[in-house]
Amino acid sequence: MRSQNLAIAANGVFIHTHMALLKRFLVLVACACICGCGGNGPTNPTSTPPTPPQPTIYDTTTPGITLPTVVREVRPQYTAAALAARIQGTVLTGVIVWADGTVGDVTVIRSLDTVYGLDEEAITAAKQWLFNPALLNNRPVAIRITIEFTFTVK
């Protein structure tokens, strides 16, 4: 009888231990089902970190604004294909000059050429320009300006 009691006691410990693990497992599963966290605390897998506020980009017609001045101007290169085709004219670009004087986004407002690469050369050149920034109330600000690039075959 003693060996049976020992076996029952041993089985009781075994069952108790497994019941405790089973309860923990069920709690984790329940948590995962309710909050989608997998049992590691609440999370939201679809949330994204907050976007930092974007600086105001002023216009050249903003009252009281002082326009940026050019510190470094880079001229666009003619592509060999455009030179061989004798493509001439202007590309008008829209440029954002940041408050630190560097160039941000550059877009083509008026295209000269989408085949021979002169629009892309104008964008590449504009991105290398450097400015003393625009000022509003004596503080540097971002501004949208235009830069015109002229391509002439000599």
List Cβ neighbours of 124 (8 Å cut-off, separation of 6 or more). Answer: 76
Task: Give the pLDDT confidence of 46-73 residue by residue, as tens digits.
Answer: 667 787 788 899 999 999 999 999 999 9
More confident residue, 152 or 52: 152
Distance CA 89, CA 95 (A): 19
Question: 142 and 76 in one domain?
Answer: yes
Q: What sign has the CA pseudo-torsion 99, 139, 93, 82? A: negative
Same-domain pairing of 26 and 77: no
Q: DSSP assignment of 15-44, as one string?
A: HHHHHHHHHHHHHHHHHHHHHSSTTSS---
The confidence score (pLDDT) of residue 51 equals 79
111-151, pLDDT tens digit by residue?
998 899 999 999 999 999 999 999 999 999 999 999 999 99
Question: Range of 79's domain?
Answer: 57-151
At 154, is the pLDDT very low, low, confident or very high (cuts 50, 70, 90)? confident
Whether residue 95 is predicted with pLDDT greater than 90 in this model: the reply is: yes
Tell me whether residue 52 is in a domain: no
Task: Say which CATH number the domain at 143 has.
Answer: 3.30.2420.10
pTM: 0.66
Averaged pLDDT of the chain: 80
Residue 16 has pLDDT above 90, yes or no: no
Q: Is 25 a domain residue?
A: yes
What pLDDT is stored for residue 24 in this prediction?
A: 52
pLDDT of residue 5 exceeding 80: no
- 146 forms beta bridges with 94
The yes-or-no verdict on residue 44 having pLDDT over 50 is yes
pLDDT attached to residue 40: 54
Find the mean pLDDT for residues 105-110.
98
Is the domain of 41 the same as that of 79? no
Write the DSSP string, 69-90: EEEE--PPPPPHHHHHTT--EE
In the chain, the number of structural domains is 2
